[in-house]
Amino acid sequence: MNKFEELVHKEFNLWGELSSKVEYNSYKCLINKELKGSKSGFFNLALKANNSQIHIESELESIELLYKEEESLGNIIIQNENLNKKFDVVEDGEYFYTKSELIDLNKLSEKISITETDDIDSFAKTLSNGFGYDKSFEEGFVNRMKGIRSKLDCKFYLLYSDGKSISCASYFRMKGIDDYCLMNCATINEYKRRGYLSTLLNYSLNMIKSPVFTRTNNPDMMKLLEKNNFLSGGKFKVVTIESALENYEQK
């Protein structure tokens, strides 16, 4: 199993703790029909059990039927180098993972503090501001985290400047597993591009002292991860099974 396949399976197993999980023929499938329109195709992802990216037409047809029976839409993940035609792309991104060694930390200024928090309301407000979402996002995020925290090991970090929460980052992992998945990284608008998120990542990584992986389709986030000692785990596209049946040829 190469690094890309390793990271895909780690994330698949992580979200499998929160999803309907079905083994069908040679595939493992996550099914979340309420999220069939999500921009993250991972919530309805079909993955070959043997790690192969060779998809046989008859297998894909049976998996597509399974998702339709479950009133959902299925997707598969393909490394960019395996793409040779146009697809209906749900998500286009890149995996990153931490090196074994941690970056030496610079001393924080007196104005800055970083803390692990259980204040999900404050975390949601910071995240919402950073992503430019409206008020309804905050309530939905808080409610989702209640369910997730009961099933996963979760850590939420906030960076404060002069007592104001300005950057956030969260980490999730299955209970009893080493690796965390980094998500929900943001800085509120008026403080962007000043190095606060980079500082938060450095300190939070040192606090958890565990391997971390993440994926993103944001070019600025990719640069920030590379700057902060992350390595690329491979670029990918999540595509619909329907378009894979129309376009995908694997020799």
Instruction: Classify the C-alpha dihedral 223-157-172-132 as positive or negative.
Output: negative
Same domain, 76 and 111: no
**What CATH code is carried by the domain that includes residue 197?**
3.40.630.30
For residues 84 and 141, membership in a common domain is answered with no
Same domain? 108 vs 84 = no
- 109 and 88 part of one domain: no
Vertex 146 angle, CA 42 and 143, to 5°: 80
Look at residue 214 and tell me if it is in a domain: no
Residue 88's pLDDT band (cuts 50, 70, 90): confident
Q: Is residue 176 part of a domain?
A: yes
pLDDT at 177 over 50: yes
Mean pLDDT of 115-121: 96
Chain segment 218-243, per-residue pLDDT in tens: 999 999 999 888 999 999 999 999 98
222 assigned to some structural domain: no
Q: How confident is the model at residue 102 (pLDDT cuts 50, 70, 90)?
A: low
Is residue 216 assigned to a domain?
no
In a domain, 74, yes or no: yes
- Statement to judge: residues 197 and 118 lie in one domain: yes
84 and 112 inside one domain: no
Q: Is 201:169 a contact under the CB 8 Å cutoff?
A: yes
Task: Point out the least confidently predicted range of 49-58, 81-90, 101-110.
Answer: 101-110
State how far the Cα of 227 lies from the Cα of 70, in Å rounded to an integer: 42
Distance, in Å, from the CA atom of 95 to the CA atom of 238, rounded to the nearest integer, reads 12
- Identify whether 55 is part of a domain: yes
Question: Is the same domain home to 147 and 194?
Answer: yes
Q: Kindly state whether residues 83 and 110 are assigned to the same domain.
A: no
Residues 183 and 240 in one domain: no
Sign for the pseudo-dihedral over CA of 81, 98, 51, 17: negative
Residue 185, domain extent: 103-208
Mean residue pLDDT of the chain comes to 89
Residue 225 lies in a domain: no
Whether 227 is in a domain gets the answer no
Do residues 60 and 15 share a domain? yes
Give the pLDDT mean for 24-53: 87
Tally of domains in the chain? 2
- Statement to judge: residues 41 and 118 lie in one domain: no
